[in-house]
Structure 1
Amino acid sequence: MKAPLEPADIASKVQDARQGVQTAFAWLHRTFAPLVYAIHLGMTSREQAEELTQETFVIAFRRLDQLRDATSFGPWIAMIARRNRPRREVLGRDLAESEEPVWVGTSPESMALADEALRAIRHLPGAYRETLILRLVEGLSGPEIAALTGLTPSSVRVNLHRGMNQLRQALGVSVQTEGEE
Structure 2
Amino acid sequence: MKTETELIDRILKGEWRNFAILVDKYEAKVFNYVNYLMNNREDAEEMVQDTFIKAYRSLSQFRGEASFSTWLIRIAHRNCLTHFRKKVPMKVSLDSVTDEKAGSNASLPSKHLDVNDRQQVLSRALVKLKPDERSAVTLFYYQELSLQEICDVTDLTLSNVKILLHRSRKKLLDILKEMGVKQSTL
Scaled to the shorter chain, the TM-score interval is: 0.5 to 0.7
> C-alpha distance in 1, partners of 2:10/2:153?
19
Deviation at residue 79 of structure 1 after TM alignment: 2.0
Q: Which 5+ residue runs of structure 2 have no aligned equivalent? A: 99-111
1:145 aligns with 2:150: yes
> C-alpha distance in 1, partners of 2:126/2:13?
39
Q: Which among 130, 136, 142 is matched to residue 135 of structure 2? A: 130
Q: Which among 167, 170, 173 is matched to residue 168 of structure 1? A: 173
Q: Which has the larger radius of gyration?
A: 2
**Residue in 2 that maps onto 1:64:** 58
The 1:157/1:124 distance shift into structure 2, 3 A limit, reads same
Matched letter for residue 44 of structure 1: N
Deviation at residue 116 of structure 1 after TM alignment: 1.1
> Paired residues, what number?
153
What secondary structure does 1:42 align onto? helix
> C-alpha distance in 2, partners of 1:39/1:23?
24
> C-alpha distance in 2, partners of 1:146/1:36?
20
1:93 aligns with 2:94: yes
TM-score (norm 2): 0.57
1:111 aligns with 2:110: no
1:24-61 CA-partner distances (Å, limit 9, x unpaired):
7755885697466424422224x446523531234314
1:77-131 CA-partner distances (Å, limit 9, x unpaired):
422244457x98433633499xxxxxxxxx9722112211111111111111001
> C-alpha distance in 2, partners of 1:150/1:16?
29
Q: Which 5+ residue runs of structure 1 have no aligned equivalent? A: 1-8, 98-106, 176-181
**Residue in 2 that maps onto 1:51:** 45
TM-score (norm 1): 0.58
Identity of counterpart residues, as a percentage?
Answer: 18
User: Does the 8 A contact of 1:168 with 1:174 survive in 2?
Assistant: no
Q: Which among 21, 36, 41 is matched to residue 41 of structure 1? A: 36
The 1:149/1:37 distance shift into structure 2, 3 A limit, reads farther
> C-alpha distance in 1, partners of 2:157/2:23?
20
User: Does the 8 A contact of 1:132 with 1:163 survive in 2?
Assistant: yes
**Residue in 2 that maps onto 1:79:** 78
Deviation at residue 13 of structure 1 after TM alignment: 8.3
Deviation at residue 20 of structure 1 after TM alignment: 4.0
Q: Which among 146, 158, 162 is matched to residue 157 of structure 1? A: 162
